[in-house]
Structure 1
Amino acid sequence: MKKNLLDLDYIINADNYRNIQDSIADATDMAIITVDYKGKPITHHSKCTNLCKFVRSHPKLSHICEKCDSRGGLEAARLNQPYIYLCHMGIVDFAIPIAVDGQYLGAVMGGQVRVEDASEMESLEKITSQKTDILEYINKNELKELYQSLPVMKLQKVRANAAMIYNICNYIVGEAVLKINLSDGAISKETGYNNYQNKKTSVNTEKLSINTTKKDEHTHGELLNSRENIILKPALDYIEKYYTRNISLNNMASLCNISTSYFSKLFRRTIGDNFSNYINRIRIKKARELLETTDIPITNIALDLGFEDSGYFIKVFKKFEGVTPSKFRNDAL
């Protein structure tokens, strides 16, 4: 297995995933946090209850909470399915394993609820047998009040929510791994690419070809026809349409639902140039057209094409064309 596929934060877009996590927590009325295989959080704690915030603020009790999370995740990985259990506070929690090719990467930890029918709790395992005198650390009345404030639901509903999150996580991680494997050539075009072809994800290479020589156009066309564009297509489409805007690397990575570091690496490998040069190359191509066919002032062309000022535009133009915009215009007359 590739080393990068062992890094959960690498194969998913953490920022986008956090938004999904928040939405699921709101929809299910359950607390959720995602951790890597070491138990280190890669997201914040969505909808964490006041009781759990209170308990985790006490070092000795927080240590037991961490043990519960660790054991819950490992047990879910062993079972390869959602694992619902009771934490040391008697609260219903669950762990959703995240694995790639049988390798445990981390888990989605959720729950922090009370079960409507107390008798149903008898079927749940208490994840830790460590005994703690809770009242030694927490005021009895305050504990009772916080416990009563926990969301209440049927165990069947807890199971349904855990199953839903399990399926969502499998889909998100599976799609991310598929994209990485496709871009690295680890799986064939036939086995993984056809599903995307059915969704009409091919790129219009004629519109996106920006190089100035026949040789460059041919090379660029080959790149645009490659399987990497399954991933990069949303960004390439956006840049083609909005190249005059201020386009950031972070926003384009988010649009493709991959991490910024992976987007940058994949973009350079696929296009053969870095992100900023690619955008500037498109702008300069348009600038050449305007300089050859109009008498629009150079300053206006620079601003219209998204450059901060004419000085930077002139610098970039000379880098690509070997001459200044004014000389290029004069030579074209």
Structure 2
Amino acid sequence: MKSTLSLEEIIDIESFQKIQDDIAQATDIAVIMIDYKGKPITNHSNCTKFCSMVRKIEEYSILCEKCDSRGGLESVRIKQAYIYKCHKGLVDFAVPIIVKDQYLGAVMAGQILVEDDESVELEEIVRIKKEFKSIDEKTRKDLEQEYEKLPTLSFKKIKSVAQMMFHISNYIVEEAILKISLNEANCKLREGKKVDIDENLNESVNLKTNEEDVESPIIKAIEYIDDNIDKNITLDKISFVCNLSQCYFSKLFKKETGVNFISYLNIKKISKAKQLLINTEDPINNIAINLGFEDCGYFIRIFKKQEGITPKKYRDLYKKDSSI
């Protein structure tokens, strides 16, 4: 896998463009995604006529680029949405996209005015002391007219939209981490580090790698299951342990092991149950409870589905065989 990632590699640009367009339409806020160099990755959604005119003026265009660059870098520094004022006094914000400590780009949004401007203190990210003389009177008037048409939102609403965009950024990061993990798993498979489950013997998944490999989050999940086999392990709990969303954890677990999380968990629990049925006189109801099954009937159904017989029948058959 390449050491340097790009936004084009980890997201579907066309799909994100549609999401971006809908958000811009719903909020009256202009939105665009840029890479770490400041190059646009998506088309500008809902760009105001005022800003379009400003960016066509060379002197102002340079200042716009400086604002975008500085805004993106500040968002990286604080690792959250950074809200600021551009050189024309409009409110913008930048949301960083960072994967494995690598800054890939940012979602830039704004081109709006604040209703309660006097009560809100925002950094003027790029300041200019005077207007440029190269702008003719007609252009100046046109800009003033378009300025009056700019959308106005409360600062509370702006913060809410910025937070929403931050969540979207986190989604992109999770998607990237998933793809990176899957690529790493594929590399291991190509190197002969097979991922396998022997369902007949109910053995655990072999995901151990040498010390030079980066530990997969699924290794952590399997170790957690082994250490907590007597507990009620839910998808929510195990994905939290691995610091992944439930959806991404499920996909990654299936990809690396060949079976889904619930199937693997049941394989391990039934394997332990067989040991307890053979080596103890504990009632079947107690065994179910001790293995984290809240419903003994469910435990019996899972056992029969996996072994072809009930726990009682399994115990009876073992005792019969051992007495011969």
What TM-score does the superposition give when structure 2 sets the normalisation length?
0.58
1:36 aligns to what?
A: 35
Match of 2:46 in 1: 47
- The answer for the alignment partner of 1:88 in structure 2 is 87
Contact 2:92–2:109, Cα closer than 8 Å, also in 1: yes
Match of 1:26 in 2: 25
SS in 1 for 2:76: helix
Q: State whether residues 36 and 107 of structure 1, in contact with CA within 8 Å, keep that contact through their aligned partners in structure 2.
A: yes
8 Å CA contact 1:5, 1:177 repeated in 2: no
| Structure 1 stretches lacking a partner, 5+ long | 203-224, 231-333
Alignment partners' CA distance in 2, 1:42 and 1:79: 23
- 1:207-262 deviation digits (Å, cap 9, x = unpaired): xxxxxxxxxxxxxxxxxx744989xxxxxxxxxxxxxxxxxxxxxxxxxxxxxxxx
Q: Residues of 1 paired with 2:156 and 2:245: CA distance?
A: 38
Distance change >3 Å, CA 125–CA 197, structure 1 → 2: closer
Aligned to 1:143: 143
Question: How much has 1:178 moved relative to structure 2?
Answer: 1.3
Residue 131 of structure 1 and its aligned partner are, at CA, apart by 3.5
Aligned to 2:100: 101
1:28 Cα shift?
1.4
The alpha-carbon deviation at position 156 of structure 1 amounts to: 1.0
Structure 2 matches for 1:275-290, cutoff 5 A?
Answer: none
Match of 2:173 in 1: 173
Task: Summarize deviations over 1:108-138 as a string: whole Å, max 9, x none.
Answer: 11000011122034x0000012434156425
| Preserved contact between residue 178 and residue 192 of structure 1 (Cα < 8 Å) | no
Question: Structure 2: which 5+ runs fail to align?
Answer: 186-213, 222-241, 260-324
Contact 1:183 1:228 in 2 (8 A): no
Q: 2:181, 2:143 → 1: CA distance?
A: 49
Q: Do the aligned partners of 1:85 and 1:93 also contact (CA within 8 Å) in 2?
A: yes
Q: Give 1:182 shift.
A: 2.4
CA contact (8 A) 2:182 2:255 kept: no
Q: 2:131 aligns with which of 133, 141, 148?
A: 133
Cα separation, 1, equivalents of 2:258 and 2:143 = 54
RMSD: 2.8
Deviation readout 1:60-91 (Å, 9 max, x if unpaired) = 11111001000000011001111111100111
Q: Please state if 1:195 is matched with 2:246.
A: yes
Contact 2:91–2:110, Cα closer than 8 Å, also in 1 = yes
**Matched-pair contact (CA < 8 Å) for 2:10–2:179:** no
Aligned pair count reads 206
CA separation in 2, counterparts of 1:85 and 1:164? 17
CA-to-partner distance for each residue in 1:3-40, whole Å, 9 max, x for gaps?
35521211111111111111111121100111011101
Give, as a single letter, the amino acid of the residue that structure 2 aligns with 1:140.
Answer: R
C-alpha distance 5-142 of structure 1, shift in aligned 2 (>3 A): same
Alpha carbons of structure 1 residues 168 and 197: separation in structure 2 relative to 1, 3 Å? closer
Secondary structure at 1:84 match in 2: strand
